[in-house]
Amino acid sequence: MANTALAHVLAHALTAAAHGFRVIPLTRAKLPAVRSSHHHDPAPLPCRGECGRPGHGVHDASADPEAIRALFASAPWATGYGIACGRAPYHLIGLDLDLKGGLKDGLKGGRPGRPRETGGAADTDGGARKPDANRKDGTGSTGSTGSRDGRDGTGSTDGLAALARLAREHAFAIPLTVTVLTPSGGRHLWLCGPPGLAVPNSAGRLAPGIDIRGLGGYLVGPGSYGSHGSYRLAPGSPAWAPAPAPAALLRLLTPPRPAPHRSYRPGPPSPGPHPAALEGLVRFVRASREGRRNDRLFWAACRAYETGAGPELAPALIEAALDTGLAPREARATVASAARSAARHLQPPEAWA
């Protein structure tokens, strides 16, 4: 990449940082441009920058000009920049509104910078579609809810129409906010989330044609170049002032837990394990750090089932795991696996066959 082009992208990234956004350099494929510092490790361990070196995807994101210049200097092939979502001060949420099929040209001829009456959208970057070097891209299940969600009879997908339909059904207005136009004819809508709310990344869960970029994801910033063209602010779009996400939309973006909070309360004394020991297992799970949550939950659940207290303690262990950020489905599967493992080891060897 020519130095003048790199300087152009770096200037845009520094402008974003000056407004409080944390940025990383990206390749033409919209992937983090700085090579992993662990690519030579024989068995790379999960690392999000604790090693002190760059090359950890969105976890490298910074608003410090010197740190940004250093990142771009280590990736002179960068053609764009990503803006980290879910981070202070904006706690950015991105809605990537895809446009696939015959509708693409129709959108280009419209008024891309203006929200529709029912809630016109603005653009978020689908850049987080990578095999996330940060591993937090978390593109979730692709849930289709039928043609009304944004597909027409020809199989085309219109994320803007799907978002407008959601706005009508859930009675919220899509605010005028930062809108980025993508090379494919889609839009990226930037919204602010409240502090303390971690919006998960997903692809198509909200509706076909709508991908969500939350904590651990990123948006391709305006002024970036990708393999298929440039990203640019829509005419009339605010430049660096994302609007707050409507409360009704936030509720859609953060599905409730499948089960209410339950706390373990030891019952009357029994010949089984001491209640304090069981409470210790719950505390052990709740103190888990990211990267060890699954292992610690499995170990604690195995101990509980081995003592015969597994069925009683399982809800409290799952609740503790959810409090650490482990996904509900993963927590339940881990406890179920521990129950099977404990049952197997409690059987005589001849029953294993």
Residue 55's pLDDT is what? 85
**The two three-digit tokens of residue 191, written as one number:** 């919204």
Residue 345 confidence class, pLDDT cut points 50, 70, 90? low
Q: How does the average pLDDT of the chain come out, rounded?
A: 78
Within 10 angstroms of residue 172's Cβ, the number of other Cβ atoms is 19
Q: What is the chain's Cα-based Rg?
A: 23
CB 93 within 8 A of CB 199: yes
Q: Which of 101-115, 209-223, 291-305, 309-323 has the highest mean pLDDT?
A: 209-223
Mean pLDDT confidence for 1-13: 84
At 195-227, the pLDDT tens digits run: 989 999 999 889 999 999 999 999 999 999 999
Mean pLDDT confidence for 259-272: 49
At 16-57, the pLDDT tens digits run: 999 999 999 999 999 999 988 776 666 666 777 777 788 888
Residue 344 confidence class, pLDDT cut points 50, 70, 90? low
pLDDT over 90 at 145, yes or no: no
pLDDT over 70 at 128, yes or no: no
DSSP codes of every residue in 14-40 = HHHHHTT--EEEE-TTSSB-SPPTTTT
CB 218 within 8 A of CB 61: yes
Task: Kindly state the DSSP code that residue 185 receives in the 8-state scheme.
Answer: S
Cis peptide preceding 89, ω within 30 of 0:
yes
Residue 310's pLDDT is what? 80
Residue 165's pLDDT is what? 96
Within 10 angstroms of residue 138's Cβ, the number of other Cβ atoms is 19
pLDDT over 50 at 283, yes or no: yes
Residue 46's pLDDT is what? 74
Name which residue leads in pLDDT, 114 or 86: 86
pLDDT over 90 at 291, yes or no: no
Name which residue leads in pLDDT, 306 or 318: 318
Mean pLDDT confidence for 143-171: 71
Alpha carbon distance 23, 151 (integer Å): 33
Non-local CB neighbours of 196 within 8 Å, separated by 6+ positions = none
pLDDT over 60 at 161, yes or no: yes
